[in-house]
Amino acid sequence: MESTIGHLPKGHVDPGEDFKAAALRETEEEAGLDETKFNIHNFEFRLEYSVKGRPKEVVYWLAELKDPDTPIRLSEEHQDYKWLPLSEACTYAKYEDLQKALKDAAEYIENSK
């Protein structure tokens, strides 16, 4: 079976939430990681597209896990996870837009050194 990254934690924005609050909630729901477990960097990647004629917008942030040994608790909608260096994750990304987001994040990290 070919190994790919289908997607990172994401989901719908609930009433009263902004994109960042939704991302934090979805990360906790899908991976069991609340915002005390990571540092969020000043990096944002936005995608806008349409599905069946309906506009969609996805916003990703770059975050660093404070303790790499923090246990991950996957939701029922996910089968598995794997930690990868960003350079390697880019090659596993199934979708072009995710590949671009990961490459841009790697570039941001490199330029921040």
**Structural domain boundaries in the chain:** 19-112
Secondary structure tally for the chain: helices H, strands E: 3, 2
Which CATH class name applies to 19-112?
Answer: alpha beta
44-48: list long-range contacts, CB under 8 Å, 24+ apart: 45/100, 45/101, 45/104, 45/105, 47/97, 47/101
Q: Which residues contact 113 (CB under 8 A, 6 or more apart)?
A: none
> How high is the pLDDT of residue 5?
61
Please provide the size of the chain in residues: 113
Write down the pLDDT at residue 1. Answer: 39
Q: What is the pLDDT of residues 40-97, one digit of tens each?
A: 999 999 988 899 999 988 899 999 999 999 999 999 888 888 888 887 888 888 888 8
Q: What pLDDT digit, counting tens, does each position of 22-32 carry?
A: 999 999 999 99
Alpha carbon distance 62, 69 (integer Å): 19
